[in-house]
Amino acid sequence: MTDNFANKKEASAALKYWKTQLGLRDWFIKLRFTEGAFGDNKNNTGFCDFDFSNKSALITIANLNEYERGNLVIKQPQEQVLIHELLHCLYPIKYKNEEINSEIVSELQHQVLEQIAKTLFAEKYKLNINWFNNK
């Protein structure tokens, strides 16, 4: 187990495994990778653009170099990011306005999805949750 997938074959195998585990086998999901973190705060390592009615999603995962990984507060292995992004397909809430309530709900949802993703990843690899501390 490493922070990044070794190659596309390993990433595809992980996608297939987690689609089965999470009950998403009937979804059409494409994975793509981008160099470096992205988003407003350059701290995002994954994004899921999904269409719930068509059961399809495009998941983008960041390829981080050692320096970028070292600057994260917590470890974010690509497989754990994949799990988090797949969970968005199960909790299809999109926020289209800037209301404070939307921001709060979005943050709460991400906290729950992140905890579930970490727990599933840790269970698969028999890790203690403290393993995510990026010392």
CATH code of the domain containing 66: 3.30.2010
How many CB atoms within 10 Å of residue 57?
Answer: 21
Percent of the chain with pLDDT over 70: 91
Asked if residue 95 is part of any domain, the answer here is yes
Asked if residue 3 is part of any domain, the answer here is no
Total tally of structural domains belonging to the chain: 1
Report residue 123 as tokens.
């269970």
Asked if residue 1 is part of any domain, the answer here is no
Asked if residue 38 is part of any domain, the answer here is yes
Are 51 and 42 in contact by the 8 Å Cβ rule? The answer is no
Asked if residue 63 is part of any domain, the answer here is yes
pLDDT, greater one: 106 or 80: 80
Task: Enter the pTM of the model.
Answer: 0.81
Question: Is the per-residue pLDDT at 51 higher than 70?
Answer: yes
Domain holding 32, by residue range, is: 8-132
pLDDT, greater one: 113 or 12: 12
How many CB atoms within 10 Å of residue 120?
Answer: 19
Burial 79-113 (b: 16+ CB within 10 A, else e): bbbbbbbbbbbeeeeeeeeeeeeeeeeeeeeeeeb
Asked if residue 121 is part of any domain, the answer here is yes
